[in-house]
Amino acid sequence: MREHPLIGQLRAARVVPVVRMKSAAHAATAVRWLHDAGIRIFEITMTIPDAPSLIRELSGDPSLLVGAGTVPDVATAETCLRAGARFLVSPWVDPDLVAPCKAAGAVLMSGATTPTEVRAAHRAGAHVVKVFPASSAGGPAHIKALRSVFPDIVFCPTGGVDPTNLAAYLAAGASFVGMGGKLVDEALVAANDRAAVMAVAEQILATA
């Protein structure tokens, strides 16, 4: 399968912030702060209240690459794509998500942990295999092992990735990573601690 043209942009970014918050207002604030730090790619998860509205708002900025995360089904996928999502992320392999992504020209990232699941995701048509949960599956060593069997697959480990192990994941063969609470901490946003969020973002950008 030919590599999707957006993969290069994701590779260059190295880190995709996974914005997962209980408050839409906090999510919007986190995105704004991370944008100020220089980050231009965001995964907006469906656990955020009215997440498609935030995707629609952010996708109005042509400088941003905005995607939808924790996409559970085709109906949600189509809603997010209409809102402007340019990539979809599912925690599992769902072949039904391939068609709407293809029709919209969007990237599909399907979740997998084992070699059998990785193969199923790739054969179903996923552009990227999201290795989830990465840390509990073995961390960078697990990515290195998968890479030895699947040298041509684009891997994005997510779950437990933080500034201290980012370089190890990339060295192990991750094309890029998804980073959630270690980068987008809702407690810091709720406390209006912009400086702390910016400091982590700048550390990650320097590492990546």
* Catalytic annotation, pick one of 3, 22, 43, 202: 43
168 CA to centre of own chain? 18
pLDDT, tens digit (0-9, with 9 covering 90-100), for 44-85: 999 999 999 999 999 999 999 999 999 999 999 999 999 999
Answer whether residue 2 is part of any domain.
no
Looking at residue 158, which CATH number applies to its domain?
A: 3.20.20.70
**Does residue 1 carry a pLDDT above 70?**
no
> How far is it, in rounded angstroms, from Cα 148 to Cα 28?
39
> Which pLDDT band, with edges at 50, 70 and 90, does 184 fall under?
confident
Residue 182 domain flag: yes
Q: State the catalytic residue, choosing from 78, 102, 130, 144.
A: 130
130 is catalytic: yes
pLDDT of residue 19: 98
Q: Tell me the three state secondary structure of residue 195.
A: helix
Domain that holds residue 170: 7-202
Q: Tell me if 95 is assigned to some domain.
A: yes
Phi, psi of 175 (to 5 degrees): -75, -35
Distance CA 91, CA 70 (A): 6
- How many domains does the chain contain in total? 1
Q: Give per-residue pLDDT as tens, 120-141.
A: 999 999 999 999 999 999 999 9
Q: Considering the domain boundaries, does residue 115 fall inside one?
A: yes
> Could you tell me what percentage of the chain is helix, strand and coil, using 3-state DSSP and rounding each to the nearest 5?
50, 15, 35
Q: Is residue 68 part of a domain?
A: yes
| Residue from 97, 95, 101 nearest 82 by CA | 101
78 as an active site residue: the answer is no
CB burial class (10 A; 0-12, 13-18, 19+) of residue 123? Answer: exposed
Q: What is the pLDDT of residues 76-123, one digit of tens each?
A: 999 999 999 999 999 999 999 999 999 999 999 999 999 999 999 999
Give the mean pLDDT of 29-41: 97
The answer to the question of residue 208 being in a domain is no
Residue 183 lies in a domain: yes
Whether residue 80 is contained in a domain is answered as: yes
